[in-house]
Amino acid sequence: MTSKLPAATAAQIFDASAPKRPTNVSVNADLLRQARELNINLSQALEERLIERILTERQRRWLDENKVAIEDYNRRVELEGVFGDDLRQF
């Protein structure tokens, strides 16, 4: 299974050359059995999902941190339109 993320995106959020570290995780026994039966690489699957979760959380935090500015911008666009509206010919 390959990651759905473009390589550049992955490279921007973590150092792919960083060494691997062993860790202990607890996994539902049935999920673990099925993953093994299907030859799913657990380390790779975990890393791929962590990338997705990290990106999602960073996006959520960015939107939360910039909520006021986004709301102000949207209000201004509602009132005044966007820059260049009067110049468009389409």
pLDDT in tens, 8-28: 566 678 898 999 999 999 999
Angle at the Cα of 59 from the Cα atoms of 79 and 12, rounded to 5 degrees: 125
Domain around 62:
7-12+29-80
pTM of the predicted protein model: 0.70
41, part of any domain: yes
pLDDT score of 90: 66
Q: What is the pLDDT of residues 43-88, one digit of tens each?
A: 999 999 999 999 999 999 999 999 999 999 999 999 988 877 777 7
Termini Cα distance of the chain: 45
User: Could you give the number of structural domains in the chain?
Assistant: 1
Domain presence at residue 62: yes
Query: Does residue 36 have a pLDDT over 90?
Result: yes
